[in-house]
Amino acid sequence: MAGRRPLGEDVLFFLILIAILLAGAAALWPRLSVRFAPARIEVSPYREARVSLNRASLAELEALPGVGPELARRIVEHRPYLRVEDLLRVPGIGPKTLARLRPLVAP
């Protein structure tokens, strides 16, 4: 039996083959596991309905990000609002604050 390899070489070859297959599966596992992972639902801390600048209470205005009691009072004092951009009339509200509040408020 000159053409056969010893049994130890066959076992070694088999173990190396399994190691290569396991390494390949481990490399692909993150891609496979993400595909079948359950969907994540992100819940916004803000409610879906926009806050009305003309009808909201002080407490509702204070719940907006970056709006404290003083700024909420100034927003109420400068009513009525025809457009969201009218918030720029309120002292303490600039373009950055307006950009942050725009998706959360309505006139």
The tens place of each residue's pLDDT in the chain, 107 residues long, gives: 566 666 677 888 888 989 888 887 777 666 655 555 555 545 455 556 899 999 999 999 999 998 999 999 999 999 999 999 999 999 999 999 999 999 999 99
pLDDT for position 14: 86
Enter the pTM of the model.
0.55
Distance, in Å, from the CA atom of 32 to the CA atom of 19, rounded to the nearest integer, reads 19
Distances (CA, A) of 33 to 20, 22, 27, 42, 94: 20, 16, 11, 20, 45
8-state DSSP, 89: G
Task: Give me the helices (H) in the chain, please.
Answer: 7-35, 58-62, 69-77, 95-101
Find tokens 């173990």 and name the residue. Answer: 15
pLDDT for position 26: 72
Distances (CA, A) of 60 to 42, 65, 80, 102, 104: 22, 11, 16, 15, 11
Residue 56 burial (C-beta neighbours within 10 Å; 0-12, 13-18, 19+): buried
pLDDT for position 41: 46
